[in-house]
Amino acid sequence: MNRVEGRVKVTGLATYAAEYPAENVAYAYPVQAQIAKGRVKRIDVAQALELPGVLAVLSCEDPPRVAEDADPELALFQRRDVAYRGQFVAAVVADTYENARAAAAAVRVDYDPDDHDVRLSADHPGLYRPDVVNPGFPTDTAKGDVEAGLAQAATTVDVTYETPVLHNNPMEPHAALAFWDAEGRLLVYDTAQGASGSRAAIAKTLGLPPDRVRVVSRHVGGGFGAKGTTRPQAVLAALAAREVRRPVKIALTRHQMFDVTGYRTPTIQRVRIGADAEGRLTALEHVAYEQTSTLLEFAEQTAVVGRVMYATPNLRTAHRLVRLDVSTPSWMRAPGECPGMYALESAMDELAYAAGLDPVELRVRNDPETEPEGGLPFSSRNLVGCLREGARRFGWERRDPAPGIRREGEWLVGTGVAASTYPARRMPCQAVATVRDGDFLVQVAAADIGTGARTALTRIAAGALGVAPDRVHVELGDSDLPRAPVAGGSMGTASWGSAVVRACEELRRDGREGRADTTEEIKRDAELARHAFGAQFAEVRVSSVTGEVRVSRLLGVFAAGHIVDAKLARSQFLGGMTMGMGMALMEETPIDEEFGGFLHRDLAQYHVPVCADARHVEAVWLEEHDDALNPMGSKGIGEIGIVGTAAAIGNAVFHATGHRVRELPITPAKILAPRF
């Protein structure tokens, strides 16, 4: 199908959070901390209040009312402590955006600074073991004796990989528009990946019953996890609107987004693997070191991929966290699995070379029959099929295994492979299906963040009702609709679609209306290991003169259950793989150790791939039927495309040059470093 909302998007008629009309609207603009740690001594707003159009200044000098148990990142202006550079310490409300911005610059903040610490290291004295890692996995797991397994191995690798801070950078900036009505009910147009969750978070922050808050997010211009949890701009709009008693709009600048909308934590990962003479693993250890803030704990599940991927009798995974004077990291496309598979799949490549085995064959030999950690049966697992089909399509058999020998003029040419995986989850969801004027209306508080959720749910509903898709209208993006989980974790379609199917089935039985809640159905799910799998193949050309890396071919082959819509699926796979290319070669946000905060703060410095970088990217999938998942038999596809891509490209760079870069991104300077 073509996108249901395609016409309104390309003609500019789709309305995003900052674009909703409002009479007598005011604008809020934040004032950000200029230190990384310390206290606010005094905020002088006198000059700001004298400027044209200024209505109010919110700050810790007269804190607005919020709930005592509010999330520390959302409890704006409640304390004088500064936890990170860029934290909101005040905000100006004025009649125009320009006046608010000018007045914010006139606010004077005096600080009592303290020494800060923003550097992650594997030997940091503040490292600790979190209770769980996102979204609730055990922090550490152990099976067998890793040391004994390594001692008996014929070949071992012991390697450390590093990934930097990465920022989500969705196209649409974080924005919100807030209204309070005469009865004290709050309406917020928000850039949210889940209207139901955003309503709950805003209501909790403000100490309101959820039924007194409504969140609308009809169209969302990307998120990649940055809009998966409520961000400060939504709360600021609500607080400001309550203060000035008129609608208030806020749209963060790109610079501000780098500070307060989350990011992918940097990681340091040590991977130790042993294999016997036949290339079968005797031991695997994966330990990840990450950072969080002093405000809130977020522990990314980086090492959990080792619990899923390869058969071994001895397995240990662990996570260690340190609280630094930084903003809180959060979800970014495939949190945990993405950086974790970069390290694991790079280490598997190194093991293959050390053992003299083909990298595809090494992975095939170690494909497990059941989940390696707990022994659960897989609902379906077709990683070997992805590797074999990818090798066939890519022409892998023509590859010379020796690194650093294929040259075309100044260009060194190499190929690499990596596996990918992502959990196939679903969460409880509600939906309503009704007959309206001879057609069908399906309502669910799902979010379309650019993935095509409206289109996918239209197809799912049409199939369940046995009618043409043009007879189905899907309404979503509103917390007043039946409750739905976040568009994240590659579980949106599976969760929403399950409820939609059940509501449509009920409608067919009732003839007028169908209501569904999948909570009890999900509780009855059999205990299985549910995952999508894939394999990425990359060909790179590396300039021997400049160190420039060009990805000439990128292929992904996936086994992700039933594909609901081929056009949508291809776009998601290609988008994820292109994002993985950025992770491999260009994306990073350096941290300023002297002053705190981030050094790259816009898209002039934070580089992402463009069309010229993505020369030939291809995504295909295997036909896979998995009836144990959900009524559609589908697995999430929004994230698996990014998971193995960086490793495949890094492995290809090694094959091209004979030089292993273990710290992302792989820049020309790192390619040329061995010469100097």
* Alpha-carbon gap, residue 149 to 535, rounded angstroms: 27
Strand order in the sheet with 108-113: 81-82, 38-44, 108-113
Q: Which of 243, 285, 539, 639 is catalytic?
A: 639
Q: Is 26 helix (H, G, I), strand (E, B) or coil?
A: strand
* Alpha-carbon gap, residue 33 to 551, rounded angstroms: 40
* Alpha-carbon gap, residue 6 to 54, rounded angstroms: 40
User: How far out from the chain centre does Cα 52 lie?
Assistant: 41
Quick one: CA torsion of 522, 382, 132, 628, rounded to 10 degrees? Answer: 10
At 247, which helix (H) or strand (E)?
A: none
* Alpha-carbon gap, residue 578 to 379, rounded angstroms: 29
The upper half-sphere exposure of residue 237, i.e. CA atoms within 13 Å in the direction of its Cβ, equals: 29
Q: CA dist 60 to 54, 108, 113, 484, Å?
A: 18, 13, 17, 35
The contacts of residue 570 (CB under 8 Å, 6+ apart) are 619
| C-beta neighbour count of 71 within 10 angstroms | 18
CB 393 within 8 A of CB 557: yes
* Alpha-carbon gap, residue 444 to 502, rounded angstroms: 12
User: How far out from the chain centre does Cα 148 lie?
Assistant: 37
**What DSSP letter does each residue of 649-672 carry, written as one string?**
HHHHHHHHHS----BSS--HHHHH
Q: CA dist 84 to 34, 36, 104, 113, Å?
A: 9, 4, 19, 11
Q: Is 54 helix (H, G, I), strand (E, B) or coil?
A: strand
Active site residue 639: yes
Which amino acid is present at 417?
V
Residues marked active site are found at 639
